[in-house]
Amino acid sequence: MRAIRGIWRWRHNPLRRTTDLVEAWLALGALVLILVAAPLAGVLVGGIAGDALQRSVRDQRENHHPVVATVIRKSDRTPLDPDPETASGRDSHSRVLARWTAPDGTARRGTAMADLKTPERGDHFTVWTDGQGRIVGRPLDTATAATHAVLAGFGTGAACAGLVEGTRRLLVWRMVRRRYDRWDRAWSRAGPDWGRTGTGS
């Protein structure tokens, strides 16, 4: 609203400089872009990210299989959290040496993360594997994918708005600097004679 009032106020004002009008139009253009283009960019990026993430969810559901594994012994290495999506998983998972049967029927053995606080030999836990029995992460769920898509859209909209406002401020700053440079040049021409009697006669 301030930009619109500024343009209207400066339209026929005899004190109006060209830079004042340009500055007001820049403010109005930036406002329109922030209100229209930034949300549109956010919606488009969020939609594209959402489609890609939902395809990933479907692919992971087809290719990741839950398998029951049996603890052979606790691993000596320090525990790690393989799934960054779980906030409390770091405290409740232990690294163990385990055996399991792959979806293709072959016996597998290796180090895995067990959701057991004190794993003992013979304890059972679930791991996610691919078709060949290699351990993979838990498949992404639909809600998490949707959340990531929304965050991507929101981040894109905010970044777009910040870019527009930053560009407007940079252009205004350059106009002000040029205005100051013109004033300095005009003052350097008038300065030596300032205040002298009979100057210009």
- Decide: pTM greater than 0.75: no
Q: Measuring CA to CA, which residue among 156, 160, 171, 200 is closest to residue 42?
A: 156
For residue 139, the model assigns a pLDDT of 86
Nearest CA to 96 among 123, 132, 68? 123
pLDDT at site 191: 65
46-50 long-range contacts, Cβ below 8 Å, gap at least 24?
46/149, 46/150, 46/152, 46/153, 46/154, 46/156, 47/149, 47/153, 49/148, 49/149, 49/152, 49/153, 50/145, 50/146, 50/149, 50/150
User: pLDDT tens digits, the chain, 201 residues: what are they?
Assistant: 555 565 566 566 666 677 777 887 888 899 999 999 999 999 999 999 999 999 999 998 888 888 888 888 887 655 445 555 544 444 457 788 888 988 888 888 888 888 877 888 888 888 888 888 888 888 888 899 999 999 999 999 999 999 999 999 999 999 889 888 888 888 887 766 665 555 554
